[in-house]
Amino acid sequence: MNTGEKEATGHLLDALATEPEPATEPSSLEGRGALVTGGSRGIGRAVVVALAQSGANVAFNYLDTGPESRQSAAETKDEACAQGVEVFASAGDVRDAAAAEDFVDEARGRLGGLHILVNNAGVGRDRALWHMTPEEWRTVIDTNLSGAFYFIRAVAPLFRAQQFGKIVNISSVHGFCAEFGLANYCSSKAGLAGLTRSAATELGPSNVNVNAVAPGYIRTTELTARVPAEIMDRARERSVLGRLGDPQDVASVVLFLCSEAARHVTGVVLPVDGGYLV
């Protein structure tokens, strides 16, 4: 090895020496604080419960559209509390930027710290685009895309200051491919992919991982309850695994992305779709 090569190798070793140590228990979330939007039912509930099972203290919000909505939130809270962690649930609208900041502050106080954000709240208002009203367009974009932006914006100063954070956005296979009647939904989910890459770029230097998952059609949620049976059948046939997913299928991948097992993964949109997009 000549002198120049030795110097280059020395610089490389110096750089390696300053890299952070890999986590000793990469899959544990013990002592972490996590915030999940739209956590009262469906995929959000599965994520809240999975985070609690992994030892994280969890805060979640929900829109509160009536007694059923509150009942779902209470059931989710009970299920998560049964894991012996702190759980804080509150009604709130992700379309309200100021409310997002307040909820982040309160969650941080109640959980004793905040390290994880899962942007899950989402709605659909399906209609052929020539019949779609501006209100139906705005409701979906404001909830699915702007809501995620408001929450990322609200946690960013904290995550940057503590030089640690995990953000997972729940996108959809419809961020990649179109379906009749979903112009607003597809646009919001494709936008979420752009937001994921932008946030990963801007927060990466502060050791914050930002990723998204893109579920295919998931059984048993209210969002899919409105989808005609023939579309669900077509989705099952199109998936190379020949089945639809469950909320837990999404939650387990979210959990992985929130853990140190995925510390070197950022800026990706990971399909969780049984091969629907293959």
**Active-site annotation, residues:** 185
Interaction between residue 40 and ligand NDP (CB under 6 A): yes
Q: Which amino acid appears at position 68 of this protein?
A: E
- Please select the residue that binds ligand NDP; options are 178, 222, 234, 241, rule is CB under 6 A: 222
Q: Which residues contact 42 (CB under 8 A, 6 or more apart)?
A: 218, 220, 221, 222, 223, 247
Q: In whole angstroms, how close is the CB of 24 to ligand NDP at the nearest point?
A: 32
Q: How far apart are CA 221 and CA 195, in angstroms?
A: 25
Q: How far apart are CA 114 and CA 237, in angstroms?
A: 41
Interaction between residue 221 and ligand NDP (CB under 6 A): yes
| Phi, psi of 58, rounded to the nearest 5 degrees | -130, 135
Size of the site for ligand NDP (CB under 6 A): 32
Distance in angstroms between the alpha carbons of the first and the last residue of the chain: 48
Interaction between residue 169 and ligand NDP (CB under 6 A): no
- Please select the residue that binds ligand NDP; options are 33, 115, 117, 120, rule is CB under 6 A: 120
Interaction between residue 98 and ligand NDP (CB under 6 A): no
- Please select the residue that binds ligand NDP; options are 100, 103, 122, 253, rule is CB under 6 A: 122
- Please select the residue that binds ligand NDP; options are 42, 165, 191, 271, rule is CB under 6 A: 42
- Please select the residue that binds ligand NDP; options are 28, 55, 79, 93, rule is CB under 6 A: 93
How far apart, in Å, are the Cα atoms of 50 and each of 2, 35, 45?
54, 13, 8
Taking the C-alpha atoms of 100, 107, 261 and 198 in order, what is their torsion angle to the nearest 10 degrees? 20
Q: In whole angstroms, how close is the CB of 34 to ligand NDP at the nearest point?
A: 15
Q: In whole angstroms, how close is the CB of 249 to ligand NDP at the nearest point?
A: 11
Interaction between residue 44 and ligand NDP (CB under 6 A): yes
Helical ranges in 54-96 per DSSP H: 67-81
Interaction between residue 34 and ligand NDP (CB under 6 A): no
Q: How far apart are CA 160 and CA 201, in angstroms?
A: 13
Q: In whole angstroms, how close is the CB of 122 to ligand NDP at the nearest point?
A: 2
Nearer to ligand NDP, 93 or 106 (CB): 93
Interaction between residue 69 and ligand NDP (CB under 6 A): yes
3 state SS of 234: helix
Q: In whole angstroms, how close is the CB of 250 to ligand NDP at the nearest point?
A: 7
Nearer to ligand NDP, 120 or 196 (CB): 120
Binding mask 176-215 for ligand NDP (x = CB under 6 A): ---------------------------------------x
CB-based burial, 237-263: b 16+ in 10 Å, e otherwise: ebbeeeebbebebbbebbbbbbbbbbe
How far apart, in Å, are the Cα atoms of 9 and each of 15, 216, 271?
10, 46, 39
Site residues (CB under 6 A) for ligand NDP?
37-38, 40-44, 61-65, 69, 72, 93-95, 120-123, 143-144, 170, 172, 215, 217-218, 221-224
